[in-house]
Chain A
Amino acid sequence: MARAQEHTRSALLDEALGPGGPIIVFDKVWLAFDEKVILREVSFTLQTGHTKIILGASGAGKSTILRLALGLLTPDAGRIFVNGEQIEGMREDELMRVRADVGMVFQEGALFDSLTVRGNVGYKLVDELQWPGDKVDARVEEVLGFVGLSDVIDRMPSELSGGQRRRVAIARAMAARPRILFYDEATTGLDPITALTVDEEIVKLRDLEGVSSVLVTHQLRDAFFVAEHTAAKGADGVTFARAERGKTNQAEFMMLKEGRVHFEGNADELRAAAKRDEYVRSFLS
């Protein structure tokens, strides 16, 4: 625990506390479960409207970062800022205020199996925000339309396919219009075609709704699709195209190795790093 008190204020933290600062800041974060160290001095920022794609082998601590950012876990050392609020010392009731602006898509969807799709998607609006029924119905139909699942609104989660469950989970996470969305292995276990529909939802939310996102995955194909594509709404509906260089810079890759940040940069820098770094290369090949 001695390392817990080691922090001096880093450049990252100065940046976070300044005007126009990033929406998420991790500053020298450590986490261990018993004797096993999961994260070692992890620092990064996420700028508003950008996407952070966290890569790494299983057990590297990728999902742990999302749980820390949501306050579901507390770090042993370091500081975490979400939306300008320092969250690591907060009580559960204080964290609720921070979580109001954050949505999360869990690995297997984590849909409430006792509720219908309508109940799942409208859960926060009804139970936490106490929206009136007609307003809830309108928003639920709107977000289910956004993910292309209007026809399953009255089904139970057990009646949905894997891809549909993930898309309902995305709809649930976005229903209350959060400014930040976390995706924990949102495409793992899905076939490439279904995974592509989930990737498109992520791109749509970022480009059409202005949502900042953190994407945890070990599916490189999905990671590069999200980083290098853009969505636009036209007369024919939403279209996807390859993003220009300035846009691709808004998607930052971060690769973890044994709990440390091993690489940070955009898609081109990741490909370049693969030529000189064996770990990155082994991951990309």
Chain B
Amino acid sequence: MAAGLQNWLKDAVLEVQEYVRLVGRVGRGVVSPPFYYRDAIQQFDQIGFGSLTVVLLAGLFTGMVLALNSGITLDQFGARSMVGRLISASMVKELGPVLSGLMVSGRVGSGIAAELGSMLVTDQIAALRALGTDPVRKLVVPRVLGGVLMMPLLSILATGIGMVGGWIVSVLQFHVASTIYWTEVVQGLYMQDVWMGVIKPFFLGFTIATIACHVGLRTTGGTQGVGNATKLSVVASSVAVIAVDFMVTKVMIVLLY
């Protein structure tokens, strides 16, 4: 039992150590050549444009359901006109970034882990190294850049479409005038909220991409291992999105409010 616990702790410490090493190598890869521009642009397209549909749908329905639920509650106090205020604050600060993060971790994180994992078990990573390419610079850095730079854009779009979803429900279901809805949306926002909504996704994108790459590059055990890596990547990055969201929120409240 003690030996089992000891081994588990050793494995956990090793995973953290390897993750930190990978992050360090990514840091060096971002600031020193060689740079693989084509791969980075390809990742911007795959992560950004490729995730657009799922993120927009998630944002739209979240805004709609938020308007439905909050509208019914606010109606009891005769404050249905304030639906926009509630939706904007929730979407911008929290739901936009976190839901986009969860969608991206499911769609992109799993894809990255599966791709790198299968490259590893079929010796393609070893072949890259044999051909003189550092796999971290070629494969990891572009994906991390894609995650860090595309997540804020996806989050802003999800937030925007969420507000539109809320507007549709507010107008059609609760008969709130459009001008009142959008005025409340603007009045419900503070500059600090906007900063929080913009800054958080950078951290979430970094977390998702680095965890997925780390898990993919640590794949063992053939095709079954690739399946396990994919599953682990989604679970770990989804939990990490929530945890990082909490930590960044805590820090930003101290710094901004």
A-B complex is real: yes
Residues in A lying within 8 Å of B, measured CB to CB: 67, 70-72, 92-93, 96, 99-100, 102-104, 106-108, 110-113, 123-124, 127-128, 172
Instruction: Check A99 against B131 for contact (C-beta < 8 Å).
Output: yes
Query: Which residue of chain B lies nearest to A182 when distances are taken between CB atoms in the complex?
Result: B130
Residue of B nearest to A112 (CB): B124
Q: Which residues of B contact A107 (CB under 8 A)?
A: 123
Are A110 and B131 closer than 8 Å at their CB atoms? no
B-chain residues with CB within 8 Å of residue A111 when the two chains form the complex: 124, 127
Residues in B neighbouring A102, C-beta threshold 8 A: 130
Looking at the assembled complex, report how far the CB atom of A127 sits from the nearest CB atom of chain B, in whole angstroms.
6
Q: Across the interface, do B132 and A106 meet the contact criterion of CB distance under 8 Å?
A: no
With both chains docked as a complex, state the minimum distance between the C-beta of A165 and any C-beta of chain B, in angstroms.
Answer: 11
| 6 pairs from A and B in contact (CB 8 Å cutoff) | A70-B129, A99-B132, A103-B130, A107-B123, A124-B133, A128-B132
> Quick check: A108 and B123 within 8 Å, CB to CB?
yes
The answer to whether A124 and B134 touch across the interface, beta carbons within 8 angstroms, is no
User: Is the Cβ of A72 less than 8 Å from the Cβ of B129?
Assistant: yes
Q: Contact residues of B with A, CB < 8 Å?
A: 34, 36, 122-124, 126-134, 138
Assess whether B129 is in contact with A127, with CB atoms less than 8 Å apart. no
A124 & B131 in contact (Cβ 8 Å cutoff): yes
| Contact, CB under 8 Å: A124 / B132 | yes
Find out whether the CB atom of B134 lies under 8 angstroms from the CB atom of A92: yes
Q: Are A72 and B131 in contact (CB under 8 A)?
A: no
Question: Please, how many angstroms separate the alpha-carbon atoms of A102 and B130 in the complex?
Answer: 8
B46 to chain A, nearest CB (A): 11
Cβ–Cβ contact B123 & A106, under 8 A: yes
Complexed CA–CA distance, A124 and B128 (Å):
9
How many residue pairs link A and B with beta carbons under 8 A? The number is 52
Chain A: minimal CB distance from B183 (Å): 50
* B123–A96 touching, CB < 8 Å: no
Given contact pairs A104-B127, A127-B36, A110 touches B122 in the complex (Cβ within 8 A): yes
Q: Collect the chain B residues with CB atoms within 8 Å of residue A113's CB.
A: 122, 124
Shortest beta-carbon distance from A71 to chain B in Å: 8
**Residue among A67, A71, A92, A123 making CB contact with B131, cutoff 8 Å:** A123
Is the Cβ of A93 less than 8 Å from the Cβ of B126?
A: no
- Name the residue on A nearest B28 (C-beta): A93
Instruction: Establish whether residues A70 and B131, one from each chain, have CB atoms under 8 Å apart when the complex forms.
Output: no
Contact B126 A67 (CB under 8 A): yes
B126 & A96 in contact (Cβ 8 Å cutoff)? no
B127:A110 contact, CB within 8 angstroms: yes
Whole-angstrom distance between the alpha carbons of A123 and B130 in the complex? 12
**Which residue from chain B places its CB closest to the CB of A106 in the assembled complex?**
B123
Are the CB atoms of A110 and B133 closer together than 8 Å? Answer: no
- Closest A residue to B126 using CB positions: A72
Measured between beta carbons, the chain A residues less than 8 angstroms from B129 are: 70-72, 92, 99
- Cβ of A96 to closest chain B Cβ, rounded Å: 5
- Report the minimal beta-carbon distance from B18 to chain A, rounded to whole angstroms: 15
Question: Is B127 a contact of A112 with CB atoms below 8 Å?
Answer: yes
**Closest chain A CB from B14 CB (angstroms):** 13
Residue of A nearest to B39 (CB): A127
* Contacting pair B126 A110 (CB below 8 A): yes
> Is the beta-carbon distance between A127 and B133 smaller than 8 angstroms?
yes
- Which B-chain residue is minimally distant from A129 (CB atoms)? B132
Chain A residue nearest in CB terms to B138: A127
Q: Assess the B130–A96 pair: CB atoms within 8 A.
A: no
* Min CB–CB distance A179 → chain B (angstroms): 14
- What A residues does B131 contact at CB under 8 A? 99, 123-124, 128, 172
Q: Cβ of A70 and Cβ of B134 under 8 Å apart?
A: no
Q: Determine the distance from Cα of A108 to Cα of B123 in the docked complex, in whole angstroms.
A: 8
Return chain A residues, CB-CB under 8 Å to B123. 106-108, 110
In the complex, which residue of chain A has the Cβ closest to the Cβ of B34?
A128
A277 CA / B122 CA spacing, docked (Å): 37
Q: Measured between C-beta atoms, what is the minimum distance from A154 to chain B in Å?
A: 19
A37 vs B133: C-alpha distance in the bound complex, in angstroms?
A: 29
* Complex Cα spacing A93 to B127, Å: 16
Cβ–Cβ < 8 Å partners of A103 in chain B: 130
Q: Is the CB of B36 within 8 A of A106?
A: no
Which 9 residue pairs across A and B have the least CB separation, nearest first? Answer: A110-B123, A110-B127, A104-B130, A124-B131, A106-B123, A128-B132, A96-B132, A99-B132, A110-B124
- Docked Cα-Cα span, A54 to B123, in Å, equals 20
For B38, give the chain A residue with the smallest CB separation. A127
